[in-house]
Amino acid sequence: MDFIQAFASSPDQLQDKDLKLKFLDNICTLCRAAKDSGFSHAVDVFCSRYKLGEMIEVLLKLEPKYEICTQVRQLAMLALAGLSTIGTVLESRKLLRVCFDSIFFLRPNLEMQSLEVSLYAQTLHAMDTMLEVMVLSSPASKTSEMLQDILEVLLDYLFFDTVAVQERVMGRVRLLSHLLADPSSVQAVQNENSSAASRQIQIPVLGKLLGHLFFKLFRTEETSSMAVETLCSLMTFVSGQKCATLPQGHAQPPAYWESEMTSLLNMPTTGRVQAFGRYLRPAERTGIVLAAIEILGRSSLLDKNAPMEFLEEAMESPELWLMDVPKIVRHLFEYCDEKNTTTAHSFYSLLALMVNKWPGQVIATALEVAPIFSDKVCLWKVMFSVRQTLEKVLKELHIQLQDWHKNIFTRQQKSCLTFLSMLAYGDVLEDKVRPLYKNLSLRSSPRREMVPLVLRALVTLSERAETARIMKGLLPELLKFLWDQSWDISVMAMDACGNVLGQLKKSEASPMAVKVVHSLLHLFDAKEECVRERSICLFRDLLGKMVWRDKKVMRRNSWKALVRLILHMSDQAPGVAKASKEAILAIAELLKWKELKHLVLTEQTWRMGECLLAKDSSRAERFVWDSQPYLLSPQAPMREAALRFIGLAARHLGEQSEDTLAEVVLKLDTLQEREKDASIRCLAAQTNLILRFLKKQRRSRFSLRTLCCWCC
């Protein structure tokens, strides 16, 4: 005790290897003597006074992270085990994490030298001893808490997708599962009735652990066989708890579960998920759902196929798997990342199902998690995306609005939700919609978190003909969002406009469609692929909403769009190229232009420019100006298409277009300097030569004409 006290009081001795080993060995000796002699309480007071648990934590942190060359780790684990036997209160989670870090992140066994391998094996055995003692030395009332702490910390390491870490974690989980499968081992220390104690052990994290093990069964990795063994032991424990309340119930042994797991693995996904669920209690089933959500949301490396397939099947039986709605909703909001497109769809589908079945619970929980709508707005948009679901959501939100004790909404949010509820239930007249909407001040407000939600709701509500007709007065306001900095807001504004106009008769839609089309043209060149595609598709659709009195204006807009659309047929985004082709076909139909239609259908893109110029060469200068911005396109195919079109159109320029020709030559000079693609650089040089020759030729003609006039 004198040595331990002296070492603990002298921080400068922490770097001395021999003194560290002696310090840890003395703690082990002291704890054994105290246990054997009945002086545990007195020694516990001594250990707590000198904070020996914290000292051991410091020593472990000082060890090199990736290599093992001394017995410090081994003796540290044994010392912690000794402290547990005399009842010393340790900060278990913090200490466990330090212990696991010091072992799990060591180099793989095959990369260790023979001495390291021996030390590693001894240290790992010491860790297992420590874990067993920590569980078995806990008072009966604390056993569940200790197991929860250990398993919860271990679960975090299952997200490290390296073989060495996975094997080491799974080995410790297997050890604890064997303890749980044999309740008598716990009772040997606690001296209580075995079956009664088994019922007392409640481990909330057990369901998540079962989920991780279940998903490991379907991965081709070295720990999958260990997962089967561990899962069988845990199922023995679960069945013991489940059967304890049944008459003449008894737990099935691990051997029984081994055959059950084998049969499960041979089942199709549907049968496998449902069969496994029937073995579990509701808490464990919820835990597996939470594990699936965590794997999909937390890890970028682990295989996601098994949890994604599981969630799909769980949604087929929501009453079996989705009973604890608040827990599942909290996990969805915590782990959903809209940028992770691989898994976001699973989250969206699950939330949509739950809000449709249990809107009250979902909305109440969601408001607790994200009360101001600014975080995880993607999930709120999911709830606003289906009309039937949206009406339920708005109803629940309206109930929340009436509770003045809950000050969770801003004034703007209250106004927006009230406005949307009125639209959803038809409680507002057409001539009152626009004034009410203007009062929301969506564009002018410094806080715009409600904008995407309101627009998402308007898109959903406009899918219904009755609501779309009421909303037609909102079109001028929706057009203001087409140029929003956020591309998703721009797309939603287009969708809402398209829905409203699509639900109206041609006579009503035509004059509004002309205004919308005029606003769409510049969106064809948006940076985001989805904006380009959606704007071109909407342009195409609106061409069919014209009545005769508006066709003249629409023909002018169509001519303005033609060059852009022809060039976008070379867009590298397949959806944009396809939409451009369909839009040109719609223009050909509007202009009754059979030759253009034929060229589009036969994909003779190179001849479309000739066709335009043959139809109206007076537009050549306009065509050149429309094409010039595409010389700076980030897409090489579009730069090439613009070059070829400019070279063709420039030959049709009149003498009065001298400035335009000079401007084009200047831009071609710049393109030649900056262009990295050799073939385009060569084409630019050729086009430049041709245009310079044309420019020179026109100057010669102009000089000759001037001389003739002077002579006359």
Q: Which of 145, 25, 35 is nearest to 92 (CA)?
A: 145
89 and 6 fall within a common domain: yes
Domain-terminating residue out of 568, 585, 615: 615
Q: Do 67 and 23 fall within a single domain? A: yes
Chain segment 278-331, per-residue pLDDT in tens: 888 899 999 999 999 999 988 666 678 889 999 999 999 999 999 999 999 999
Please give the DSSP secondary-structure letter assigned to residue 246: S
Report if residue 401 sits inside a domain. no
Are 567 and 593 members of one domain? yes
Q: Which amino acid is residue 85, in one-letter code?
A: T
> Does 521 reside within a domain?
yes
- 685 within domain boundaries: yes
Decide if pLDDT at 428 tops 60: yes
Same domain for 519 and 571?
A: yes
In a domain, 225, yes or no: no
Range of the domain at 679: 630-712
pLDDT category of residue 707 using cuts at 50, 70 and 90 = very low
Q: Can you say whether the dihedral through the CA atoms of 516, 517, 518, 523 is positive or negative?
A: positive
How many CB atoms are located within 10 Å of the residue 247 CB?
5
User: Is 601 within 8 Å of 569 (Cβ atoms)?
Assistant: no
* Confidence class for position 562, pLDDT limits 50, 70, 90: very high
Q: How far is CA 384 from the centre of its chain?
A: 18
Do 6 and 76 lie in one domain? The reply is yes
What tokens appear for 216 in the block?
């490991």
Counting Cα atoms < 13 Å in the Cβ hemisphere of 220 gives: 0
Residues 642 and 578 in one domain: no
Structurally, the chain folds into a number of domains equal to 3
Side-chain-side CA neighbours of residue 614 (13 Å):
8
Contact of 30 with 43, CB cutoff 8 Å: yes
User: Is the domain of 588 the same as that of 696?
Assistant: no
In tens, the pLDDT along 667-692 reads 888 888 888 888 888 988 888 888 88
Domain boundary among 120, 137, 154: 137
Cα–Cα distance, 591 to 694 (Å, whole number): 33
Instruction: Report CA dihedral (564, 565, 569, 572) to the nearest 10 degrees.
Output: 60
Residue 591 included in any domain: yes
Residue 529 and residue 642 in one domain = no
Would residue 29 count as lying in a domain? yes
596 and 664 both lie in a single domain: no
Percent of the chain residues topping a pLDDT of 70: 91
The answer to whether residues 512 and 606 belong to one domain is yes
User: Across residues 124-153, what is the average pLDDT?
Assistant: 90
Is 131 found in the same domain as 91?
yes
**Are 458 and 421 spatial neighbours (Cβ–Cβ below 8 Å)?**
no
Residue 479 is which amino acid?
Answer: L
Q: Judge whether residue 475 has pLDDT over 60.
A: yes
Query: DSSP letter string over 497-555?
Result: HHHHHHHS-HHHHHHHHHHHHHHHGGGGG-SSHHHHHHHHHHHHHHHTT--GGGHHHHH
Residue where a domain terminates, one of 103, 137, 171: 137
Closest CA to 335 of 364, 374, 378: 378
Is residue 333 pLDDT above 70, yes or no? yes
Which pLDDT band, with edges at 50, 70 and 90, does 573 fall under? very high
Rounded to an integer, the average pLDDT of 455-459 is 95
* Average pLDDT score, the chain: 86
Mean pLDDT of 46-69: 91
- Domain co-membership, 644 together with 609: no
Q: What angle do CA 377, 378, 381 make, to 5 degrees?
A: 85
CB 585 within 8 A of CB 541: no
Q: Does 356 fall in a domain?
A: no
Q: Determine, yes or no, domain membership for 317.
A: no
